[in-house]
Each structure stands twice: as C-alpha cells, then as structure tokens.
A and B are shown apart, each in its own frame.
Chain A
C-alpha cells in the first residue's frame, strides 16, 4: 500500500521495519515515478532512453544523478504553481542546483522536518543559539544556502541568539548573558559543522574559555571535508565541542537541497538514520548493484517528499556504507549508516586544454 503522509505524521518517524517499509516505499516511489513521467517531459525522455527493468522494488527504479538539477530545470507541476525555487551551490561552486517547489511540497517538507526534529527535542520551542552570524540571513546573495538553513531551523527555537558578530567574531559577553537568562532549561543550538569548529570551538580554545550549558541539543550540518583535511573525526569533534560548550546531545545530520525535509539525523550512538520518509541504498560503482551491509559504495537517497519535481530517487556523489537495519541500540528502526564524504576527483586524460585554467 502507498504511504500516506498524514498517517505517517501520526506515527513515530522511525517506526517502520524492513519488510513493511520496503513494500510501502516501493509502492509510493513507483507511483511517484509514474506521476513525474507524466508531468515532467525531461524526466520522461530520460527514462525512455534508459534500460529500466521493473523488478517490483524501488531498488530497480532509475536514479537521477543529483548534478542533473544543476543543468536542467526539472519540475512536474505547472510553472505558475511554483512558489519557491531552492538553490544550492553544491561543491563545484559554479553552477547551482535549482529545486522547484509548489505550496504542497513546501508544506510537506516543513511538516516532515518538524516531525523528525521534534522526535529528538520535543514539540516545544526552545531558546535557541545559532552558532553563526546574523549576516548570513541578510546578505542573501553570498550565503543563500547557509542563510536558508538557519531560517528553516529557527522555526524550532525562540529568543534566537547569534553567537558570532558580523566579523565572525565570537560574542563571548553576549553568549554569557544569554546563558545566564536561559541556561536553566533545555537549549537548542544550530550551526554548520565547519563554522562551529573554526569560529566557535577553536576560538574558545584559543581564548581559554568555556561555557557550561546544562542541557543542550546541537544540530549541525554541512560536511566534513575541511575537518578531514585537519584530521578531525567526529569523536574528536564531539569531545572538544562538549569541553567548550557543556552538556550537549550532538546531532550531525545529512541532507541536500534536492531532498529537503527528509533529512538523516545522527542518533546518540553516532549513527545517521533513515526515517519512514526516506532510505539510503549503497551502490557498487562498478555496476550499481546493491552493496552489502558494511560495504562502501556510492549513496543513493530516496525520499517520498518530492512531488513538484522528480527528485525522489537520487544518486549522490557521496560515499557511504550501511551499518545495520532495525537494530540500532538507540531503538530507532530503519537503516542506519555512515558517510565518508565526496568521491575523489580523477585526473582526466585527453589532448585538449593546453592552457590549464587557473
């Protein structure tokens, strides 16, 4: 049976087990595929050219390379119904992804995101510290993706405080004042993985200061590339964040502009979790066959949310591996996994391009 969003929103977001989930996801993603073929000409042209076999499972449905959203304007609703075009720079920096959202898709994204976040922190809005600068929201051109992330997450907080000033300097005094006022109860913190490290944690270490948050939940996103270059792994990261900020539950999460809403949140055991709304399939790069548990490969991400654009089944350029399914000690069902980050660039051979571009 197809998944129904209203029903799913009534359930625990990590309740579905393997068999039930696979059956429901297959039905839902198959009908989404049919829907998008009917309403998005590019998508239909592409699928007609591919050698798609129908094995009955969503594992057999065609994946779109996530980069395709940088090259084509893909949407499945009449143009005039599009209310928002999400953009993201991705990695290459030159071209941006364009994700076309109608009212329904915007709403389902936000409802699902709320459902997932609140399963970790409850439904009540908490005092919130953004470990970034207010400027990212003002200067839209420079920081569109970063600013949008902060705006989106701010829905879950109240009395929002920005820990960095417009020069990206840590506002130590302001932070202490804020904690004096709100530090007795639970606090929500949000920021970008690398920004937190570089401008908050490293800075506090340099200044030799620490805060003593008694009960906080930190959500962070953005990738580990720069931290990897500095040989900082997640254990080191979490340890040093706690040393400087206090008693925090730390939740890294994985998501992308092309599948907003159905994000993958790290549990207290450090595992990223698929929810009822999403799944991850690891593909062997040699033939796109499905990798076994604990086998590294390219990550395919699926989500039941994309209705206004054909982004329900995507092949990412990230590497990852499945750690297990339905058996994480945290009690959440569904697959849980680990991400290794972006695949490496290769040296390309050939005879063009004498003058290397800078």
Chain B
C-alpha cells in the first residue's frame, strides 16, 4: 500500500499482516497508555466524546471486556481489516480501530475528509505512543488514513482486506460495494437503522423532580446531541399505559416540558434547523393524513402524538427535536412494526429483559439493543447485533 496516495494521520503503510490473539497483552497495554496520553492533552477536556473514548480504553474497562472472551487463546485476528468510518461522528473511527485492534488485526481506517479536532487529538496521541519501541509492532499494523472519494484507492484497499467494515448507512454501503473484495474476505456493514423508546407512564408520574430532570438530560444526549441523526437515536416513544388516559396526558407533558427546558439551555437552534424541522412537520402532516396531532414547545421541540399504530414506524423520523409518541395498552402491540431495520430500544421504567423476552418470544427480526435512556449513543463491542471482536477474528480450532 506504499504506492497509494494516502494521508496517514497515524501509523503508516502496512507492509505485512501479523495478526495476534484477541486482547493481546501489548494491545491492552497500548490502549491503556492511549487513554492516559489523551487525558494529558488539555484539549481533550473540551470534547466529551474524546473524554469518553479515553475512558473506554483505560485498563479496567478493557480487562472487564476481556472477561467475555474466555476462548480468546483459540482465536486470532483475521489479518487486515479495512474500515470506513462515518463522516459525521468524529470519534467513531477510534472505536472501530479499537475493536479491530482488540480482535488482533492490522487496521486500515479511512476517516472522513471533514476535519475534526477530535480526530486530531486522538491521532496525535497515537503517534506519540508509536515513537516508543514497545509499540513498534502496533504502529506497523496501523494506518489511519484520509483520502478524497477515490474508487481506485478503495478498490486497492478492498482487495488487501480480510474483513471490510463499512459504517455510514445504505448509500455508502452501496457505493463501497462497487469495489470487490476477495473470496475469503468477509464484511460487516452498518446500514440505516431506526430506533425508538419505550416509557412507562406510571414510572414517569412517580419519578421525583430530579429524576425527571436527569432523564430529560439523558434523553437530550441521546437525541439533540447528534441532531437526531444517529441510527440509535429514538424517533418514536411508546408509552405503557396505566389504563387511564389522563395519566398519559400528564406523564408525557411532564417529560416533554423537562426536555424543552434542557433544549433551551443547551441546544443551538440555528435558523436553518427551524426551517427544516417545520418543513418536515408539514410533510408528515401531508404524508400521513389523520395520523397525528402536533404539540409544539416553541420551535425547540415538536411532539407528534399518533392516534393509531402506523404501518411502518421507520418512516416516522424527526430531526433537530421532532418526536412521535403513542400510548399502548400492552407493550406487545409494538411487535407488528418491529422489523430488521429497527435497532435500539431505549427504556424508562420498563425492565430491559422484558423487552428482550418479547423479541425472542415473538420471533422478531428487529431490536438488537435494549438500553436505558441516555445510553443509546454508547458504542460497544456488541453493536448492531454483532459481537465485533468475534466477527473480526477467526477460530483456530
């Protein structure tokens, strides 16, 4: 890959693939040092996403993750992982690199051509560690690269790969699949997904003021923080009824008012976002006649209350703070609308295992993740229904 015209943000051209076992000792030590190195950088404090990445790769967390892989000595990295990170989530490239590295691979990670300070902070920390003799091997197996959209380069890197990982949704996947991979090469793709929430009316009414405020804050992080554009961001909230419609009216108002308060304090509501959001609201009104009635909390928050279960929830998407909601007499009513596009279910006041049981009992093709509100954007080794360390490694049986 030396002859390719790539900008190396960290590492360099990979000359030889030298896979290791998952959670290799040097890899774990490197990640812990990376955590420390990032935290030394005063700029890291300005970016909560960088800070949480540093927190994620510290020793204790990696040791904890390692416990889930008692079979790791019988596995090895597949060889070279070619990974395409999404363009609008700055720190995602670092996680996908970390998963590839933990699985034991050499990694070529293509980052977006958009420049983000977060990418720079993390890559600079990596480069400082790569100067150390003990991390020479890791440096030789690392290439964090940037290049303008270029079919030829993507073709070449795809042919080198033993596994290709594509983030970025349906359009990107279709685009990248034009570049062939070798027969043995496998692929992990992160397609467009849809996520929703499942809240309990009674729990909302019983919660104290502080709890509701904390919940609203957590919900803000799940949604507004990414302008509602992440695949794990909820767009629809289903509420488990108490049997009394007045309770639902009170509970939902309590929640949304709290969310509105957080937005006014934190959200940068640019004019163009208002214009797009209002346009989107009008389009929904035309496309889904009679489906909902909107309540507007200024232009910060639009809540569209559905009068019936829509045929396909996946089209009901908001952005910049527009949500659908519906009251359910029984949470199993969600089953008909859950299909393979549905990813994360964020819960409040509902037992996570109860949802998992519904998925299994009803043989659903969707819902890969059930997490509490506030955790929808927390990326982990288990993501989108994949165990990434296992997917990125092979069994030596």
Q: Which residue numbers of A lie inside 8 Å of B, CB to CB?
A: 41-42, 45-51, 64-65, 67-68, 71-72, 285-288, 298, 315, 317, 319, 343-346, 348-356, 358
Residue of A nearest to B379 (CB): A351
Query: Nearest Cβ distance between residue B112 and chain A, in whole angstroms?
Result: 7
Given contacts A51-B296, A317-B275, A349-B227, contact A354 B282 (CB under 8 A): no
Instruction: Give bound CA distance, A51 to B281, whole Å.
Output: 11
Given A351-B231, A352-B231, 12 other A-B residues pairs in contact with their CB atoms under 8 A: A41-B289, A45-B290, A49-B284, A49-B294, A65-B278, A285-B299, A298-B271, A319-B271, A348-B88, A349-B88, A349-B89, A350-B228
Report yes or no: A351 in contact with B230, Cβ–Cβ below 8 A.
Answer: yes
Q: Of the candidates B85, B149, B192, B225, which one forms a contact with A352 in the assembled complex, judged by CB atoms under 8 Å apart?
A: B192
Q: What is B's interface to A at a CB cutoff of 8 Å? A: 84-89, 92, 112-114, 149, 166-169, 171-172, 175-176, 190, 192, 225-231, 269-275, 278-279, 281-286, 288-296, 298-300, 304, 319
| Nearest-Cβ distance from residue B23 to partner chain A, whole angstroms | 27
24 A-B pairs with CB atoms under 8 Å apart are: A46-B285, A48-B285, A49-B281, A49-B289, A49-B294, A50-B285, A51-B293, A65-B279, A71-B283, A72-B286, A286-B298, A286-B300, A288-B299, A298-B271, A315-B278, A345-B272, A350-B226, A351-B86, A351-B88, A352-B172, A355-B172, A356-B112, A356-B114, A356-B149
In the docked arrangement, what's the CA distance between A41 and B289, Å? 9
Residues of A contacting B298 in the complex (Cβ-Cβ under 8 angstroms): 286-287
- Do A355 and B269 form a contact, CB below 8 Å, given A68-B282, A72-B286? no
Partner of B87 from the list A45, A47, A71, A353 (CB cut-off 8 Å) is A353
B88 lies within 8 A of A49 (CB) = no
Contact partner of A353 (CB less than 8 A), chosen from B88, B225, B272, B319, is: B88
Q: How far is the CA of A358 from the CA of B150 in the complex (A)?
A: 11
Q: How far is the CB of A143 from chain B (nearest CB, A)?
A: 27
Other-chain contact of A65, B167, B275, B294, B300 (Cβ < 8 Å): B275
Among A48, A72, A354, the residue within 8 A (CB) of B289 is: A48
Chain B nearest CB, measured from A274 CB (Å)? 22
| Chain B residue, CB-CB nearest to A289 | B298
CB distance from B168 to the nearest CB of A (A): 3
Contact A354/B86 with A45-B286, A285-B299 known, Cβ cut-off 8 Å: yes
Is A351 touching B226 in the complex (CB atoms < 8 A)?
yes
CB of A351 within 8 A of CB of B149, answer: no
Q: Do B286 and A42 touch (CB < 8 A)?
A: yes
Which 9 pairs of residues, A with B, have the shortest CB-CB distance? A350-B229, A354-B168, A49-B285, A352-B169, A287-B298, A45-B289, A46-B285, A354-B172, A343-B271
**Do A286 and B299 touch across chains, with their CB atoms under 8 A apart?**
yes
Q: Shortest Cβ distance from A315 into chain B, in angstroms?
A: 7
A351 pairs with B279, CB closer than 8 A: no
CA–CA, A317 to B291, complex, Å?
28
A355 to B112, CA, bound (A): 8
Quick check: B282 and A65 within 8 Å, CB to CB?
Answer: yes
Contact A285 B229 (CB under 8 A): no
Tell whether A354 pairs with B84 under 8 Å between CB atoms, given A45-B290, A71-B283.
Answer: yes
A144 to chain B, nearest CB (A): 24
B226 surroundings in chain A (CB, below 8 A): 349-351
A350→B227 CA distance, assembly (Å) = 7
Give the CA-CA distance A180 to B39 in the complex, in Å: 78
B168 touches A344 (CB 8 A): no
A287 B299 Cβ-Cβ under 8 A: yes
Q: Residues of A contacting B293 with CB < 8 Å?
A: 49, 51
Distance between Cα atoms of A71 and B286 in the complex (Å): 11
Q: Residues of A contacting B319 with CB < 8 Å?
A: 348
Q: How far is the CA of A204 from the CA of B291 in the complex (A)?
A: 60
A285 engages B271 (CB within 8 Å): yes
Enumerate chain A residues within 8 angstroms of B231, measured Cβ to Cβ: 351-352
Say yes or no: B275 contacts A350, CB within 8 Å. no
Q: Which residue of A lies closest to B304 (CB)?
A: A49
Please give the distance in Å from B301's CB to the nearest CB on chain A.
11
